[in-house]
Amino acid sequence: MYIVVSLWYPTDKVEEVTNRYFEMLKELPFDRSLGKETIPVAVTTNKKGIHSMSIMNAKEGKLQEALTWTGKRLIKFQNIQGCEYKVRTWSTVTEALESIGKSLPE
pLDDT digit of tens for each residue in the chain (106 aa)? Answer: 999 999 999 999 999 999 999 999 999 999 999 999 999 999 999 988 999 999 999 999 999 999 999 999 999 999 999 999 999 999 989 889 998 999 988 8
Asked, for residue 70, whether it belongs to a domain, the answer is yes
Whole-model pTM: value is 0.88
Partners of residue 7 on adjacent β-strands: 52, 85
Asked, for residue 61, whether it belongs to a domain, the answer is yes
Helix, strand, or coil (residue 50): strand
Asked, for residue 106, whether it belongs to a domain, the answer is no
CATH number, domain containing residue 49: 3.30.70.260
Using CA atoms, how far apart are residues 30 and 5, in angstroms rounded to an integer?
14
Identify the domain containing residue 39 by its residue range. 2-99
* Domains held by the chain: number: 1
Using CA atoms, how far apart are residues 14 and 68, in angstroms rounded to an integer?
26
Asked, for residue 104, whether it belongs to a domain, the answer is no
With CA atoms as reference, report the closest residue to 57 among 32, 75, 76: 32
Asked, for residue 47, whether it belongs to a domain, the answer is yes
Asked, for residue 105, whether it belongs to a domain, the answer is no
Segment 7-37, tens digit of pLDDT: 999 999 999 999 999 999 999 999 999 999 9
Which residue type does 33 have? Answer: S
